[in-house]
Amino acid sequence: MTSPAAPAEPQQRGLPFALAAYGIWGFVPLFFKLLEDVPPVEVLAQRIVWSLPLCLVIMAFRRQIGEYLAALKDWRVLRLLLASSVLIALNWLVYIHAIFTDHVLAASLGYYLNPLVNVLLGMMFLGERLSRLQAVAVAIAAVGVAILLAGALDTLWISLTLALSFGTYGLIRKVVPVGSLPGLAIETTLLLPVSAAAAGYYVWVGDGRGFASGAEVSWLLAAAGVVTAVPLLLFATAARRMSYAALGFVQYLAPSIAFLLGLFVFHEPLKPAQLFCFLLIWTSIAVFSFDMWRKMRAERMVAVA
């Protein structure tokens, strides 16, 4: 009688951390909206600059400094993390730009597309095979993107850039033998020289909008490091305590919150092409999620047997 409950226990222990991580990521447009007068490049630079010290403090607390230093000495790991750092910087910059230019709906769509992009990348580079239902889900999503090509081309680049950059980032991080937090610390370390130079340039220009222009803006920019590191730490904890398949269901929380914010808080117009695309993407996600649930159920049945 106890064996069926065993697989569920780790998922129950990890669920609060997953909900917290994706909840923060979902509401993060509210935070960045407070900084919309600051140039997006400066926000990105400050986000990177302030993320590294926090990562180092958390790694010291979790005794992961050794893993961080060992990875810095491995040229193969550094090459891969250099590529992933460029991808995550691009992802962050486009996301900040989308929020500042009132395209939260387009950003939300990008993260709805991300799991389906992951499936395609897994098939192309990891030798994974699509099930029939996954193939159907990807085809439905492709139709949705085609509709955007016809009716919302001006924001399609935002959605596709976010989905492809984060999907490729995840693919690289999947094959790099380094933990989530040490990996982020190395990425921010690699990006630090350029970021510090950019941050210093904006302070030197002193246009009255960014860091050092006022206490409120300066503290908000410093807090961007917390907004970056904390949800990632929560996500890493959740990933250890629940199955990755189960975690996949929770990931739709963030773009769903962003979608609602864009529609009802920021009052962004929902174009007909976007509406049809969202409907198709949600249908695609439903098919994809049903396939994941079916596989999880089958695996559980085998484990119980």
Give the rounded percent of residues in the chain with a pLDDT score beyond 90.
43
Q: What is the mean pLDDT of residues 147-169?
A: 86
Kindly report which listed range (47-56, 68-77, 131-140) carries the lowest average pLDDT score: 131-140
The larger pLDDT score, comparing residue 232 to residue 282, is at: 282
On whether the CB atoms of residues 144 and 271 are closer than 8 A, the answer is: no
To the nearest 10 degrees (0 to 180), the angle between helices 75-100 and 65-72 is 110
Q: What is the mean pLDDT of residues 27-41?
A: 94
User: Residue 243 has what pLDDT?
Assistant: 64
pLDDT band at 246 (very low <50, low <70, confident <90, very high): low
- Taking alpha carbons only, the member of 189, 187, 296 closest to residue 232 is 187
**C-alpha to C-alpha distance for 193 and 122, rounded to whole angstroms:** 33
SS3 212: coil
**What region does 233 belong to: left with phi over 0, alpha with psi -120 to 50, or beta?**
alpha
To the nearest 10 degrees (0 to 180), the angle between helices 215-241 and 180-205 is 170
Kindly report which listed range (4-18, 67-81, 82-96) carries the lowest average pLDDT score: 4-18
At residue 97, does pLDDT exceed 90?
Answer: yes
- Taking alpha carbons only, the member of 186, 228, 197, 194 closest to residue 76 is 186
User: Residue 35 has what pLDDT?
Assistant: 92
The larger pLDDT score, comparing residue 111 to residue 298, is at: 111
**C-alpha to C-alpha distance for 216 and 26, rounded to whole angstroms:** 23
The larger pLDDT score, comparing residue 225 to residue 10, is at: 225
**C-alpha to C-alpha distance for 87 and 65, rounded to whole angstroms:** 24
Angle subtended at Cα 301 by Cα 296 and Cα 305, rounded to the nearest 5 degrees: 150
User: Residue 102 has what pLDDT?
Assistant: 94
User: Residue 98 has what pLDDT?
Assistant: 96
**What region does 126 belong to: left with phi over 0, alpha with psi -120 to 50, or beta?**
alpha
At residue 9, does pLDDT exceed 70?
Answer: no
For residue 35, which amino acid is it?
Answer: L
Both tokens of residue 51? Answer: 């993320």
Both tokens of residue 28? Answer: 């993060």
Mean pLDDT of the chain: 85
Q: What is the mean pLDDT of residues 292-304?
A: 76
pLDDT band at 261 (very low <50, low <70, confident <90, very high): very high
SS3 113: helix
User: Residue 305 has what pLDDT?
Assistant: 66
| pLDDT tens-digit series, residues 178-209 | 888 898 899 999 999 999 999 999 888 877 67
On whether the CB atoms of residues 297 and 246 are closer than 8 A, the answer is: no
User: Residue 203 has what pLDDT?
Assistant: 87
**C-alpha to C-alpha distance for 140 and 135, rounded to whole angstroms:** 9
**C-alpha to C-alpha distance for 99 and 122, rounded to whole angstroms:** 29
